Amino acid sequence: MTLATAPAVSTAQSHDHRSPWPVFWVASVAAFLVSLDATMLYSAFGALRAGFPAATAADMSWVLNAYTVVYAAMLIPAGGLADAHGRKRIFMVGVTLFIVASAACGLAGNVGWLIAARVLQALGAALLTPASLSIVLAAFPQSKRAVTVSLWGAVAGFAAAVGPSLGSFVIQSVGWPWAFFINLPIGALSLWFGASLLTESAPSAIRRRVDVVGMALLVVAVGAIALAIVEAESPAWTRTELAAAAGTGAIALIAFVVWAKSVREPLVDLGLFRHRTYSAVNAATLSFGIAFAMMFFAFFFYMTNVWHYSQARAGLAIAPGPLMVIPVAILTGRLAGRYGHRPFLVGGALLYAAAGLWFLLVPGVEPAYVSHWLPGLFLSGASVGLVLPSLSGAAVSKLPAQHYAVGSAVNQATRQIGAVIGVAITVLLLGHGVVERSDFNAVYGLHIGLALLTAALCVFVKTRPAPRPA
Same structural domain for residues 225 and 194?
Answer: no
Cα–Cα distance, 346 to 460 (Å, whole number): 10
DSSP-assigned letter for residue 204:
T
Same structural domain for residues 116 and 231?
Answer: no
Same structural domain for residues 276 and 352?
Answer: yes
Residue 54 has phi, psi (to 5 degrees) of: -80, -15
Residue 8 Ramachandran class (φ > 0 left, ψ -120 to 50 alpha, else beta): beta
Same structural domain for residues 224 and 350?
Answer: no
Domain that holds residue 258: 211-266
Number of domains in the chain: 2
Same structural domain for residues 296 and 415?
Answer: yes
* Per-residue model confidence (pLDDT) at position 301: 81
Sign of CA dihedral 428, 430, 435, 441: positive
User: Which segments of the chain have a pLDDT < 50?
Assistant: 1-16, 203-206
Same structural domain for residues 23 and 75?
Answer: yes
Residue 202 Ramachandran class (φ > 0 left, ψ -120 to 50 alpha, else beta): beta
Kindly list the distances between the CA atom of residue 140 and the CA atoms of 118, 194, 269, 331, 465, in Å, as whole numbers in the listed order: 33, 17, 25, 18, 16
Is residue 312 domain-resident? yes
Same structural domain for residues 205 and 215?
Answer: no
* Per-residue model confidence (pLDDT) at position 288: 94
* Per-residue model confidence (pLDDT) at position 99: 94
Cα–Cα distance, 368 to 348 (Å, whole number): 26
Residue-wise over 10-47: b if at least 16 C-beta within 10 A, else e?
A: bbbeeeeeeebebbbbbbbbbbbbbbbbbbbbbbbbeb
Same structural domain for residues 290 and 353?
Answer: yes
* Per-residue model confidence (pLDDT) at position 6: 35
Residues constituting the chain: 470
Cα–Cα distance, 453 to 398 (Å, whole number): 23
Is residue 465 domain-resident? no
Cβ contacts of residue 320 below 8 Å, gap of 6+?
Answer: 374, 377, 378, 381
Is residue 463 domain-resident? no
Which of 266, 282, 303 delimits the end of a domain? 266
Cα–Cα distance, 441 to 22 (Å, whole number): 46
Same structural domain for residues 189 and 162?
Answer: yes
170, 42 contact by CB (below 8 A): no
Domain of 174, CATH number, reads 1.20.1250.20
> What is the three-class DSSP state of 69?
helix
* Per-residue model confidence (pLDDT) at position 344: 92
Cβ contacts of residue 363 below 8 Å, gap of 6+?
Answer: 302, 372, 373, 376
Q: Which pTM value belongs to this model?
A: 0.77
Is residue 1 domain-resident? no
Is residue 453 domain-resident? yes
Listed residue (330, 456, 340, 348) closest to 394, CA to CA: 340
Is residue 467 domain-resident? no
Which of 241, 266, 291 delimits the end of a domain? 266
The identity of residue 209, as a single letter, is: R
Same structural domain for residues 201 and 346?
Answer: yes
Cβ contacts of residue 270 below 8 Å, gap of 6+?
Answer: 257, 260, 261
* Per-residue model confidence (pLDDT) at position 401: 66
38, 416 contact by CB (below 8 A): yes
Is residue 235 domain-resident? yes
Same structural domain for residues 255 and 366?
Answer: no
Same structural domain for residues 72 and 161?
Answer: yes
Cα–Cα distance, 295 to 357 (Å, whole number): 12
Is residue 163 domain-resident? yes
Which of 228, 247, 266 delimits the end of a domain? 266
